[in-house]
Amino acid sequence: MSIGVAVEFNFEIPPGLDPENVDTIADEIVQRAAEIGREEWERLAGENLKLTKETYVDAISPVERPNEYEAVITLEGELPNMLEQGAESFDMKPGLLSGEKAKLSKSGSRYVNVRFVHGSPNPHTPGLPAQTKSKALPKEIFKTMQSKPLGWRYTDKNKLKNWNMGRPGGYEHKAGIFEGLHKARDKGTGTIEMQTFRRVSDNSDPSAFIHPGLKALHLAEKVKDHLENQLDSIIEQVMGENL
């Protein structure tokens, strides 16, 4: 699954320009436009995404040049294109259970433990890095956790229904959504995180991992609009350098 950006342009050959230089000029215009477009695409992703920003940006392909008159930038991968084009409500279980971290129980059913990282409700918290990529904890829970040592686990008896996921049928969590919340040190970065885990298995309730759907970002269209607004100045600049 992929989506691309297509922008067409024309330019007049000024008097006195050697016709042999036309291909070189076209090549330079296309290259600069493509670089500006890719940069704008990444900038827009940074403005509009948090948790999935890195996944989306990594899916923006390098500029490809089939010839001097064309440049291609595509957004590749299923999740990035779901974010870009939108998606209806869907069951997350098949994707989670087919991932590389999934395991097989003794009874033969698949399962995987999914880690959730919860952020601070405050932009700057002493002793804990700001976690802009994760959903903030409620202030009262965060206050409790701040004073606790690494590994201490929070007990949550509040079994919320339809918690922030648009689940059908009044689904109720089997345990509180913050049950087992604890401080841990990320093995890769060394930063302190507030973590919870949920187990997904073949035996999970059919409504347990229903995603409510994704609203389309349409960033590619915004990139196209940006390029169309920039083309005249790009062409003028390249022309000036080659006359």
Is 243 strand, coil or helix? coil
Give the separation between CA 54 and CA 165, rounded to whole angstroms: 22
Largest Cα span, the chain: 80
- Kindly tell me the sign of the dihedral angle through the C-alpha atoms of 139, 214, 79, 5: negative
Give the separation between CA 92 and CA 200, rounded to whole angstroms: 10
- Ordered per-residue pLDDT tens for the chain, 243 residues: 556 666 666 666 666 666 677 888 889 999 999 999 999 999 999 999 987 899 999 999 999 998 888 899 999 998 899 999 998 888 888 888 888 889 999 999 999 998 888 877 875 555 444 444 567 888 888 888 888 999 999 988 877 665 555 455 567 777 888 889 998 888 877 888 888 998 889 988 877 787 778 899 999 999 999 999 998 899 888 888 876
pTM of the model: 0.67
Q: 33 exposed, middle or buried (CB, 10 Å; 0-12, 13-18, 19+)? A: buried
- pLDDT at site 207: 78
156 residue type, one letter: D
Give the separation between CA 215 and CA 166, rounded to whole angstroms: 14
- pLDDT at site 121: 80
Please indicate, yes or no, whether residues 18 and 110 belong to a single structural domain of this protein: no
Please indicate, yes or no, whether residues 223 and 204 belong to a single structural domain of this protein: no
Q: Other CB atoms closer than 10 Å to residue 88's CB: what's the count?
A: 9
Phi and psi, residue 223, nearest 5° = -65, -45
Q: Other CB atoms closer than 10 Å to residue 29's CB: what's the count?
A: 21
Give the separation between CA 242 and CA 236, rounded to whole angstroms: 10
Please indicate, yes or no, whether residues 201 and 96 belong to a single structural domain of this protein: yes
Please indicate, yes or no, whether residues 17 and 69 belong to a single structural domain of this protein: yes
Please indicate, yes or no, whether residues 51 and 115 belong to a single structural domain of this protein: no
Q: Which domain holds residue 71?
A: 2-87+214-242
Residue ranges in the chain assigned as alpha helix (H): 22-48, 53-58, 78-85, 93-97, 139-146, 219-242
- CA 25 to chain CA centroid, nearest Å: 36
Please indicate, yes or no, whether residues 31 and 111 belong to a single structural domain of this protein: no
State how many domains the chain has.
Answer: 2
Give the separation between CA 59 and CA 54, rounded to whole angstroms: 9
What dihedral do alpha carbons 238, 240, 241, 243 form, nearest 10°? 120
Please indicate, yes or no, whether residues 108 and 193 belong to a single structural domain of this protein: yes
Please indicate, yes or no, whether residues 23 and 117 belong to a single structural domain of this protein: no
What does the chain come to in residues? 243
Please indicate, yes or no, whether residues 161 and 195 belong to a single structural domain of this protein: yes
Please indicate, yes or no, whether residues 206 and 238 belong to a single structural domain of this protein: no
**CA dist list (Å): 40 to 60, 118, 198, 225:** 11, 29, 37, 11
Please indicate, yes or no, whether residues 139 and 195 belong to a single structural domain of this protein: yes
* CA geometry: angle 147, 151, 157, nearest 5 deg: 80
Please indicate, yes or no, whether residues 192 and 237 belong to a single structural domain of this protein: no
